[in-house]
Chain A
Amino acid sequence: MDITLLIQNGIIVSLIGTVFAGLIGLLFNNATGRVLSYSLLAFVNAIGAVASFLFLTGKESVSVIGTIPFGFDVMFRLDILSSIFLLIVTTISALCAMYAIVYVAKYEKVYHLPSLAMATALFIFGMQSVLLSMNIAGFMVSWEIMSVASFFLVMADKEKASIKAALFYLVMTHLGAGALFAGFFLLSNGKLLADLSSLAVTAQALPPTSAILALLLFLFGFGSKAGLVPFHVWLPEAHPQAPSHISALMSGVMLKVAVYGFLRIISAFPMMPSWFGILVMVLGLLSAVFGVLYAVIETDIKRTLAYSSIENIGLIFTMIGLALYAFNNQQPMLGELCLITAVFHSVVHAVFKSGLFLTAGAIVSETHSRSLEAMGGLAKRMPILSGSFLILALSAAALPPFGVFYGEWVFLQSVVGAFFVVATNPVFTGLLIAALAGFAFVGGLAIFAMVKLFAIACLGEPRTEQAAHAKDAKGLLLTPIIILTGLIVLFGAFAPNLLSILRADGLVETQGVSPMILVPSGGSVTPMFLMGLLILCVGLVWSLRRLFSNVKNERPYHTWDCGQPITSGMEYTATAFSAPIRFFFRLVLRAKKTVIATPLLATNPWIAKRTMVVETNTIFSQYMYEPIGKGMIWLSEKVRKIQNGSIQLYLALIFITLIVALMIAL
């Protein structure tokens, strides 16, 4: 059968099937209905994933999926950029839907399952249509559907904290959508139903101030949805409160949709001012640094992951920013490489972050608490899950032989390589040094954060009863996690193939210049070789040990404890583990530590009960958001004075308005 037709039908099935699955979940409020709904969701999204993969590896560069003659021709179109991200969306959605079949059943009492299913389906549908729409109206309608559906998903468990987080998210997403509207209309110069690909043409006719305003609006709009500092404050509040498979979708996929939007819009600005690239890069570096710092000091497993998402988005935007700057300063090769690694990082981040969130969901469903301080010893009790957790955490820390490492490796190689080319340009050199230093810093701290995450959760003794009785995740809860882990390992082994797929024609507007040889494929060692080597070494050590040491005479013995029984109270807590970082960066983090000592004996004040509370309030929420909130309330109180109940004041207002209008208008 014709490949094109296959692809088109696959995408259509994916779109319609998603909505249909949601309807089934909404209407049939029983276990069968739920299983059917989520299975259908997984199935159609898998079809969509296959279709986008076929497209990506095929020969075409653009494929029109369909046109709904809505008077303004809602057109769904697939091109290289959108197909990459569509692949991410559909794959992760399929896996999360699979996960949800078992997961939501555990929380039957907490969530209202029919509306949860419908909202999930609408959320996925919204994300798919954002990627597929090709004109402003379709884009914005899908964006709104995505945002409102995710709002309802965040507050799904109806806790006070969730509702608060959801409302904060709603403010940011609505402001962002408004900025996007404004930016699109500025760019299209009033043509309301303009096609996205024609924006590049109209953008050239814009006066420079309008163009700059539009750029800034888009940066705010897409940046706030992606979690770019300083618009990120909603993210660590909202992502943890959602159900875990939704957190996976939001962190893994929705943030990438925002990245997609940003990438698409910058392709409409062929000539953009250099300082914009610097701005994006600076914001990206700030996000990466802040994200990783807060990831290190957080004690809530899902908040740590949320901050880690901010960090990764920061890395992606740093790469994009450098690419923009490079394009504007006669370094197209560097620019193209940076863009490719940015997209690569998006793909792998989607995979490992969703895997981590799904794992966290499985863990939390057993330990009934999100705090790391309540976990521990899970490696013995949930071995398979902990194994995947380990691999995913290591890949999150960008360690070889997993995929993430190679993306950053290529990026850093290009930066170092470009260093020699632009040695004479001080600004450029400075940027390159900043990027290099930033990545190194972030990479180091990321290892710290991931070690903390894995070690405190899985190693040692369980710190609470629930953790002690945790049972391993099984079946459909475990399968998606295993699949994602496998994908990360595969990406590690086949990184060069993935990179070359991504640089398929049409991803970036090259001027016909062929990029530098991508090192992993042309270098002396391939990733596959490295991975093989690693496995070989591990296998060698293991077999040598079995051969030469006296395994029969080994017996397991508990850790030497100096006669004092080891309890979980003696272990590192997450707070303790991150204390050095908290101390070192105290100026930035401004953690407040309160120690309250209550003496227990009147005679000896040193025997006391001590309570320690560590509060961290991010500087952004302290110095940016809280003043705005307080300002709003202050302003509202002032405005409220107009309506003070006195009819004389009301009449006087009319009178004064009349006089003023007469004076001004006549």
Chain B
Amino acid sequence: MQPIYLFLALLVIASLAYIPIKSEQILRQISLGGAVLYTILAGWLAIPALFAEPQFYSQDWWFLDPFAAFFLVLISFLFLSASIVSYRYIGHEMHERIIQLKQVRLYQLSLPLFILSMTAAVLTNNIGVLWVALEATTLTTTFLVAFYTKDASLEAAWKYILICSTGIALGLLGILMFAFAGNQAGGLDAESIFNLAQLREHATTFLPEIVRWAFVFIFIGIGTKVGFVPMHTWLPDAHSKTPSPISGILSGVLLNVALYTILRFKLVADLSLGNTWWTERFFLVFGVMSIVLPAFMIYIQRNYKRMLAYSSIEHMGLAAFAIGLGPFGVVPAMMHLVGHAIGKSMLFFGSGEILMRYKTTKIEQVRQLLKTSPYTAVLFLLGLLGLLAVPPSALFASEFLMIGYGMQSQWILTLVVLVALTIIFVSMIRHTLTMFYAHDASESDASSHMHKEGWTLTHTVMAAHLLLLVVVGVYFLTIPGIKFMSGIVQSISANL
């Protein structure tokens, strides 16, 4: 089972978007089938690798160690969920004539290509290909951000492509500097300076000054894509304007893949510098900033999709904060990424349902949600509670470990983080409850004409996510769970 098959499968699915069939239902079914195919192939490839010792493929271009396999599993899981939700979502929008057939084709073309670029980023051993894959994720999703031909979407897409491309260009500078470091050290020839595994092998011979420059550029540049504050400004716009299934993937997985990239380079930098605290300072500072700023923005937020987007920024900040605490911190960070992927995507799918019924993303204009859409409302609330680390969710497990670890080394910062988390907890619940009930009699009349919703495909997906969140959460608090996660992060731990 080689990675090349995955790429071929995705290319085929993408090209099928433009076959001359007029029925959009068949198109949707094809893409759903494609997602299932991809998930099977990816699972076949990744799941054995999860439990194996770190090993590399014999080829230079691709490798699959447990860490990469872990991300591949996340990508395929979210692709499958989002495809199922897209099936319903796109079908509904076509039915309501909000979009036309050519937009459906665009959607079916972009989504597999997007997944292709993320898969390539995670599986590659070549940092040049890594860069191209990251840039490709931006490019393939630009027209998904601009999906609806409204002015706000175009504005969001413009900012998205410009800011992310600029960030990734700075990342390219960083990558070139790393390659240069390899060049200068003398141990690597012109071919292998772009080879990640080789870079890791020879990292200790690199010049620390060059590596420091390189890491700063990588962190700031690719950190733009992760959404660290203050490079996060594109995120609320982009994640709120895309169709909800895509928002789910963007928030759930793309941010993780960018963080994955930074972590790969962090290992090289740590090996070269001889310690982990120099790089960890970055994660700490930017992590705490990325937790505190969204607290204030969510407090006064008026749009529920933007609220979810700021929450994504905050969760990436939490993961970074955990990484910055010390070598063991990567374990809760990865647990956090898993929990966030499952929880946030579920919330975005739910927000898609709300949008479909109320046709607005403003919190003020959504009322009586509990009465008109009870399933969506309850699932949304439960998912929100899971995201906000109420036990037994996976995020409780990761935050528990994080705070425990944090109080030992950085107690002031940990207390600041706890206060910010409280503000976000209460603000998000407050906004959700505002949508659930009516404020006074006039508002309760306004939504009385809406009929009660039925159970849809999206609800099934949301319920499955919720169940998974709880199961994973319980698993992460057991000794075998912690051991499993520690095994996964071994390939990026410097073991110094």
Residue of B nearest to A644 (CB): B233
Report A169-182 CB contacts with B as 1/0, cut-off 8 Å. Answer: 01100110011011
Given contacts A140-B400, A144-B391, A665-B282, is CB(A155)–CB(B163) below 8 Å?
no
Contacts of A178 in B (CB 8 A): 415, 418-419, 421-422
* Contact call B159/A71, Cβ cutoff below 8 A: no
Q: Which of the residues A71, A642, A665 comes within 8 Å of B480, measured between beta carbons?
A: A71
Contacts of A637 in B (CB 8 A): 300
CA of A609 to CA of B479 in the docked complex: distance in angstroms?
Answer: 74
* Contact call B390/A144, Cβ cutoff below 8 A: yes
CA of A506 to CA of B472 in the docked complex: distance in angstroms?
Answer: 40
* Contact call A657/B233, Cβ cutoff below 8 A: no
B7 within 8 A of A: no
CA of A71 to CA of B475 in the docked complex: distance in angstroms?
Answer: 9
* Contact call B299/A171, Cβ cutoff below 8 A: no
CA of A142 to CA of B478 in the docked complex: distance in angstroms?
Answer: 17
Given contacts A189-B408, A651-B163, is CB(A141)–CB(B392) below 8 Å?
yes
B411 within 8 A of A: yes
B36 within 8 A of A: no
* Contact call A141/B418, Cβ cutoff below 8 A: no
Report B384-412 CB contacts with A as 1/0, cut-off 8 Å. Answer: 01000011100010001101110110010
B231 within 8 A of A: yes
Report B205-231 CB contacts with A as 1/0, cut-off 8 Å. Answer: 000010011001101100010000011
* Contact call A190/B216, Cβ cutoff below 8 A: no
A192 within 8 A of B: yes
CA of A596 to CA of B152 in the docked complex: distance in angstroms?
Answer: 52
Nearest CB in chain B: distance from A549 CB, A: 60
Within A480-524, the residues touching B (CB, 8 Å) are none
B470 within 8 A of A: no
Counted as pairs of residues, one from A and one from B, with CB atoms less than 8 Å apart, the total is: 146
How many chain B residues touch the partner (CB < 8 A)? Answer: 63
Given contacts A71-B477, A137-B400, A145-B391, is CB(A642)–CB(B233) below 8 Å?
yes
B153 within 8 A of A: no
Nearest CB in chain B: distance from A336 CB, A: 33
Within B215-258, the residues touching A (CB, 8 Å) are 216-217, 219-220, 224, 230-231, 233-234, 236
* Contact call B407/A650, Cβ cutoff below 8 A: no
Size bracket, chain A contacts: 35 or more
Q: Which of the residues A145, A160, A174 comes within 8 Å of B422, measured between beta carbons?
A: A174
Report B297-321 CB contacts with A as 1/0, cut-off 8 Å. Answer: 1011000000000000000000000
Contacts of A185 in B (CB 8 A): 403-404, 407-408
Nearest CB in chain A: distance from B235 CB, A: 10
Contacts of B170 in A (CB 8 A): 654, 658
B296 within 8 A of A: yes
Contacts of B400 in A (CB 8 A): 137, 140, 181, 192
Contacts of B440 in A (CB 8 A): 160
* Contact call B296/A192, Cβ cutoff below 8 A: no
CA of A182 to CA of B437 in the docked complex: distance in angstroms?
Answer: 35
Residue of A nearest to B439 (CB): A160
* Contact call B300/A640, Cβ cutoff below 8 A: yes
* Contact call B426/A647, Cβ cutoff below 8 A: no
* Contact call B216/A653, Cβ cutoff below 8 A: no
Q: Which one of A373-381, A446-454, A628-636 contacts B?
A: A628-636
* Contact call A71/B407, Cβ cutoff below 8 A: no
Contacts of B163 in A (CB 8 A): 647, 650-651, 654
Residue of A nearest to B390 (CB): A148
* Contact call A182/B403, Cβ cutoff below 8 A: yes
Nearest CB in chain A: distance from B456 CB, A: 22
CA of A182 to CA of B416 in the docked complex: distance in angstroms?
Answer: 11
CA of A650 to CA of B231 in the docked complex: distance in angstroms?
Answer: 7
Contacts of B297 in A (CB 8 A): 636, 639-640, 643
B457 within 8 A of A: no
Q: Which of the residues A141, A636, A657 comes within 8 Å of B299, measured between beta carbons?
A: A636
Contacts of A635 in B (CB 8 A): 296
A171, A640, A650, A662 — most chain B CB neighbours (10 Å): A650
Contacts of A533 in B (CB 8 A): none
* Contact call A657/B220, Cβ cutoff below 8 A: yes
* Contact call A650/B233, Cβ cutoff below 8 A: yes
B430 within 8 A of A: yes
B167 within 8 A of A: yes
Within A138-177, the residues touching B (CB, 8 Å) are 140-141, 144-145, 148, 155, 158, 160, 163, 167, 170-171, 174-175
Nearest CB in chain A: distance from B183 CB, A: 20
CA of A632 to CA of B216 in the docked complex: distance in angstroms?
Answer: 33
CA of A376 to CA of B220 in the docked complex: distance in angstroms?
Answer: 70
CA of A54 to CA of B299 in the docked complex: distance in angstroms?
Answer: 50
B224, B233, B385 — most chain A CB neighbours (10 Å): B233
Residue of B nearest to A653 (CB): B230
* Contact call A71/B482, Cβ cutoff below 8 A: yes
Contacts of A160 in B (CB 8 A): 439-440
Q: Which of the residues A144, A163, A175, A633 comes within 8 Å of B433, measured between beta carbons?
A: A163
B461 within 8 A of A: no
A666 within 8 A of B: yes
18 further A-B contacts with Cβ under 8 Å, apart from A144-B390, A632-B423, A654-B166, are: A71-B479, A137-B477, A141-B396, A145-B391, A167-B430, A170-B425, A174-B426, A182-B403, A182-B407, A185-B404, A189-B408, A190-B405, A636-B297, A639-B293, A651-B163, A654-B224, A657-B231, A658-B220
A residues in contact (CB < 8 Å) with B? 70-72, 137, 140-141, 144-145, 148, 155, 158, 160, 163, 167, 170-171, 174-175, 178-179, 181-182, 185-186, 189-190, 192, 213, 632-633, 635-637, 639-640, 642-643, 647, 649-651, 653-654, 657-658, 661-662, 665-666
Nearest 7 Cβ contacts at the A-B interface: A71-B478, A178-B418, A185-B407, A71-B479, A650-B233, A190-B408, A636-B296
B residues in contact (CB < 8 Å) with A? 158-159, 162-163, 166-167, 170, 209, 212-213, 216-217, 219-220, 224, 230-231, 233-234, 236, 278, 281-282, 293, 296-297, 299-300, 385, 390-392, 396, 400-401, 403-405, 407-408, 411, 414-415, 418-419, 421-423, 425-426, 429-430, 433, 437, 439-440, 474, 477-482
A-B CB contact pairs (8 Å), 15 listed? A71-B480, A141-B391, A170-B429, A171-B426, A175-B418, A178-B415, A192-B401, A632-B423, A647-B158, A647-B163, A651-B163, A654-B170, A654-B220, A654-B224, A658-B170
